[in-house]
A and B are shown apart, each in its own frame.
Chain A
Amino acid sequence: MKPKPFLSSFLLLLAALVLSLAVGSVFISPKELWDILRGAGNETFAFIIWQIRLPRTVLIALTGAALSGSGAAYQGLFRNPLADPFLIGVASGAGLGAVIAMSVQWPYSFWGLMAIPMAAFIAALLTVFIVYFLARVGQTIPTTNLILAGVAFSSFATSLTSFLMLRSTSEVRRALGWLLGGASQAGWTAILAILPYLIIGLGILLISGHALNLLQFGDDQAQQLGLNVTRIKTILLIAASLATAAAVAFSGIIGFIGLIVPHLIRLWLGPDYRRLIPLSVIGGASALIISDILARIVLAPQEIPVGIVTALAGAPFFLWVLRRAKNQGFW
């Protein structure tokens, strides 16, 4: 039987969505969910779904899609299986950008809220270029250099972020919980604020599978096959950073999703980025929704930041990939 990767990942996403809407302090059954989505059903439940669970689930889904899609793209761009928005420091850079925007002016207004992803994007882009130039040796970016530069820059950005928080008002200090990775309470407005970044960023990545395939052969061969390498790489870096910034702006720093999901898909279906990117986007959404459900129920009624769940699963996975890459040179 031929595997149907798109069908199965859509089904997984659908199941994760339903489960995420159902689970919480009150359980809402799929049948009641169906009624509510059609505009009928219990009014209290309807409020919970429309104002709390649905915006949170959508934000988490978009965040997972963005992190996983941009993770796959960074891996292709750097030709390195361990590139992840978190590990290469871009997520922390974006977080710093967001916190700078918040400490200048706590976002009470709609436009204040819109400024956060913009600041996150600018900081993410700066981070990518800094880490890229720190890690580069000639034409290649050795894994160790990339991760070391990413981790070093990440600690720098995180320290600066903590410093900004401690010297600021209590409102910004609340952002600490957000930074650990967890959907904010900004609801539909937050989704609206990041949507343009997501659509442009992920949209570009979704059509760039063939270009990413060519880049796997190295810059020389890619260009000899007809690709305008410098231009494409710049566009892809900007697109991946747009997606990362959109994810970080309201969901904080969530590590390893961008590593695990593309890697599993690669193991399953091979390296073709024309499939890898869209499946990473769908799979990333499902994976983060499931992590978020776990984050809500493990210590219920208390919630833990979803970034803790992804790190608990992701760090051992990262070590496994690292060993595997070392032993087999395969990715």
Chain B
Amino acid sequence: MLKIQNLSASYNGHQVLHDVSFDVKNGEVLALIGPNGAGKSTIIRAASGVIQSTGYIRTNGDDFQSLSPLQRARYLAVVPQAISLPPAFTVWETVLMGRTPYLGFLGQASAHDEELARQALSRVNALAFSDRRVGELSGGERQRVLLARALCQSTPILLLDEPTAHLDLQYQVSLLELIRELAHSEDLAVLIALHDLNLASHYADRVALLVGGHVKAVGTPREVLTAELISDAYCLPVQVVAHPFLDVPLVLPDTNK
């Protein structure tokens, strides 16, 4: 369970989040959608403590704002975009770094830590290339490695910052399927910033629409992905139609008007 209440944050004196509140329940995928600059990544950076923020970020009773980075990393793991990873570490070394919150300062991994790294790698189907260097991998493979690293952190909460950016469609779909499957089977609270509204509609249990640092709507895809809300948020006329065989809405730009 991740509870965000009245979260506000600023960059260089410019406020980018205004009193953001929503919950992510266990076993649920909540997608953050909204135009560029709406504050999707900022929420993830604030929740993980990389930037200063005010308000509450908590799970059950514990408030993350007062935790050290090490303690926070036991509750909450982040999957960043895979654009700039150090290329020379192997997949194995990279995933094992997910155990940092449980290791001493020297970073000496135990057999138990290695077993968890192996499980995480096999969960994302990356065990086969665990000896390769990260720089040799494709974007899709790299993103799975980062997911494995986050799983290796053994946290109840997972935050993902546009994990499908720069990926081909087949990798976007398989990654999101895996993430949804993990959330449901491992009872994780998953918050995922997504660019693509239709992927969000397809793979998220609930959606939060963010515009200019304000939460405009939270609810099921059907509740949030409406023509009015989306047209308004993106300043673009859109049509919302039913998926031909799934019970989810599809958003199409309506540019013939």
Please report A residues at the B interface, Cβ cutoff 8 Å. 207-211, 213-214, 216-221, 223-229, 266, 270-272, 274, 329-331
> Which residues of B have CB within 8 Å of A271?
86, 88-89
> Which residues of B have CB within 8 Å of A226?
69-70, 72-74, 100-101
Question: What are some 8 contacts across the A-B interface (CB < 8 A)?
Answer: A207-B106, A223-B69, A224-B76, A225-B153, A226-B70, A270-B90, A274-B107, A331-B88
> Which residues of B have CB within 8 Å of A225?
73, 97-98, 100-101, 153
> Which residues of A have CB within 8 Å of B98?
225
Nearest chain-A residue to B72 (Cβ)? A226
- Top 8 A-B pairs, shortest CB-CB distance: A210-B107, A226-B73, A226-B101, A216-B86, A271-B88, A226-B70, A224-B78, A225-B100
- State the Cβ distance, A233 to closest chain B Cβ, in Å: 13
B70–A228 CB distance below 8 A: yes
- State the Cβ distance, A331 to closest chain B Cβ, in Å: 7
What size tier do the contact residues of chain B reach?
Answer: 20 to 34
Nearest chain-A residue to B109 (Cβ)? A210
Q: Mark B90-101, 1 if CB is under 8 A from A, else 0.
A: 100100011011
Pick the contact of A220: B50, B87, B93, B103 (CB < 8 A). B50
- State the Cβ distance, A119 to closest chain B Cβ, in Å: 31
> Which residues of B have CB within 8 Å of A330?
87-88, 135
B97–A229 CB distance below 8 A: no
In chain B, positions 5-64 with a C-beta closer than 8 Å to chain A are 45, 48-50
A228-B106 contact, Cβ under 8 Å, with A214-B97, A219-B50, A220-B80: no
A224–B48 CB distance below 8 A: yes
Residue B245, interface by CB 8 Å:
no
A221–B78 CB distance below 8 A: yes
Pick the contact of A218: B84, B106, B153 (CB < 8 A). B84
> Which residues of A have CB within 8 Å of B204?
none
Residue B238, interface by CB 8 Å:
no
> Which residues of B have CB within 8 Å of A218?
84
A270–B89 CB distance below 8 A: yes
Which of A210, A214, A330 has the most C-beta atoms of chain B within 10 angstroms of its own C-beta?
Answer: A210
Please report B residues at the A interface, Cβ cutoff 8 Å. 45, 48-50, 68-70, 72-74, 76-78, 80, 84-90, 93, 97-98, 100-101, 103, 105-107, 135, 153
- State the Cβ distance, A212 to closest chain B Cβ, in Å: 10
> Which residues of B have CB within 8 Å of A272?
89, 93
B69–A227 CB distance below 8 A: yes
A207–B105 CB distance below 8 A: yes
- State the Cβ distance, A107 to closest chain B Cβ, in Å: 37
- State the Cβ distance, A207 to closest chain B Cβ, in Å: 6
- State the Cβ distance, A34 to closest chain B Cβ, in Å: 37
Which of B45, B90, B106 has the most C-beta atoms of chain A within 10 angstroms of its own C-beta?
Answer: B106
Pick the contact of B103: A210, A219, A228, A266 (CB < 8 A). A210
B87–A224 CB distance below 8 A: no
Tell me the complex Cα distance, A217–B80, Å. Answer: 10
> Which residues of A have CB within 8 Å of B73?
224-226
Which of B85, B90, B105 has the most C-beta atoms of chain A within 10 angstroms of its own C-beta?
Answer: B105
Tell me the complex Cα distance, A227–B78, Å. Answer: 13
> Which residues of B have CB within 8 Å of A227?
69-70, 100
A266–B107 CB distance below 8 A: no
B88–A211 CB distance below 8 A: no
A211–B97 CB distance below 8 A: no
Tell me the complex Cα distance, A266–B86, Å. Answer: 13
Q: A210-B103, A229-B69, A270-B89 are in contact. List 18 more A-B contacts (CB 8 A).
A: A207-B106, A211-B105, A211-B107, A213-B89, A213-B93, A216-B86, A217-B86, A217-B97, A220-B45, A220-B80, A224-B69, A225-B153, A226-B101, A228-B68, A266-B88, A270-B88, A271-B88, A330-B135
Tell me the complex Cα distance, A228–B97, Å. Answer: 15
B68–A223 CB distance below 8 A: no
Tell me the complex Cα distance, A208–B76, Å. Answer: 24
A213–B107 CB distance below 8 A: yes
Nearest chain-B residue to A220 (Cβ)? B50
